[in-house]
Amino acid sequence: MGLRITVLGLGAWGQTLLERWQAQGHRVAGWSRSSGGSPIELVGDCDLVVSAVAMAGVQPLAQTLAPHWPLGLPLLSCSKGLDLTSLATATQLWAAELPASPLLVLSGPNLATEVRRGLPAASVLACTDHDLARDLQRQLSDESLRLYTNGDPIGTEAAGALKNVMAVAAGIADGLALGANAKASLLCRGLAEIGVVLEGLGGVTSTLYGLAGLGDLLATANSTLSRNYRCGLLLAEGCSEEQARERIAATVEGPRTARAALQLASHRGWHLPICEQVVRVLDGGAKPADAVRALMERDLRPEWSQP
């Protein structure tokens, strides 16, 4: 017998998950802000709630649902980013409103268009409750979408958020036709920068090199199916952030995440040079070519900190 699942947020990823789980035989209901109605009635009679809303919608949705949330009902978060006001991840926002509910994270190299076509993909279910994660892994996997588990939800979220910033930077590099060597260098240093935030928030280093870290970065920074990568391409063409958003006509989380990461960095003493240059371009403080030049002209130093 299948699960009763409620999917909140029916953008590209939410709609893809809804259709895939329906095809598996689960009873799936969906809600989006644009469709109208209240999500409250949908959380009272289900086994799992899946949140696929944009980061800007997470906190108000959590506050709306918290007084009506059934005891023990798990929530699976698919939102990737950092909240610009609280500087929190999605599950940190949910946990503030649902402190007694089990929370999981779904993240990985999952370009929605490819998953919807049934092309092979893999993702991570991250949860501190290993039994719950393994149970949902078994019930939500199929022959083309394979789910793995880990016990590091905060690291998984940090990696999923920051890779969007690196995808914007990769789009800029490709838009400027800087070549494979430059892009490989950018992504390598970008992975290290993601690691600064991941470890700084308390994540596990090994998550950086898994599906939610390196895997997601490779997919998002190399495909025009990625909104963040396309945003970088448009910035390289000379578009402003607003013009890029209008042409993409969908939520792009990388810019908000870059700004939130820099705020965190100022509080924590982190050095995030790629985030810094991406924000300079977004804010009009530097042309894309000048931002790349600033990265290349940084002081020479060891690749890794010396013991």
* One-letter identity of residue 126: A
- Give the pLDDT score at 301: 55
Quick: pLDDT tens for 163-189: 999 999 999 999 999 999 999 999 999
Whether the pLDDT of residue 303 is over 80: the answer is no
- DSSP reduced 3-state for 182: helix
Tell me the two tokens of residue 238: 């000379």
Q: In sequence order, what are the beta bridge partners of 85? A: none
Catalytic residue among 80, 163, 183, 287: 163
Q: Taking a C-beta distance cutoff of 8 angstroms, is the pair 208, 195 a contact?
A: yes
Tell me the two tokens of residue 62: 């959590």
Total Cβ atoms within 10 A of residue 233: 21
CATH node for 154-296 = 1.10.1040.10
Q: Taking a C-beta distance cutoff of 8 angstroms, is the pair 281, 287 a contact?
A: yes
Q: Taking a C-beta distance cutoff of 8 angstroms, is the pair 24, 2 a contact?
A: yes
Total Cβ atoms within 10 A of residue 226: 25
By residue count, the chain amounts to: 307
Quick: pLDDT tens for 122-165: 999 999 999 999 999 999 999 999 999 999 999 999 999 999 99
Q: How far is CA 294 from CA 199, 229, 265, 271, 298, in A?
A: 26, 20, 19, 14, 7
State mean pLDDT over 277-305.
Answer: 83
Whether the pLDDT of residue 307 is over 60: the answer is no
Alpha-helical segments (H) within the chain: 12-23, 55-65, 90-97, 112-116, 130-140, 153-175, 180-200, 205-208, 216-220, 227-237, 241-248, 254-268, 273-282, 288-296
287 is catalytic: no
Q: Taking a C-beta distance cutoff of 8 angstroms, is the pair 44, 70 a contact?
A: yes
d(CA 185, CA 6): 41
Any idea where the domains of the chain sit in the sequence? 4-151, 154-296
Q: Which residues of 247-284 are buried (b: 16+ CB within 10 A; e: fewer)?
A: eeeebbbbbbbbbbbbebbeeeebebebbbbbbbbbee
Tell me the two tokens of residue 94: 């949910």
* One-letter identity of residue 28: V
State mean pLDDT over 233-260.
Answer: 97
Of the CATH numbers 3.90.45.10, 3.40.50.720, 3.40.50.300, 3.40.1440.10, which one belongs to the domain with range 4-151? Answer: 3.40.50.720
Residue 54 parent element (H or E): none
* One-letter identity of residue 132: L
Across the chain, mean pLDDT equals: 95
Higher pLDDT: 303 or 210? It is: 210
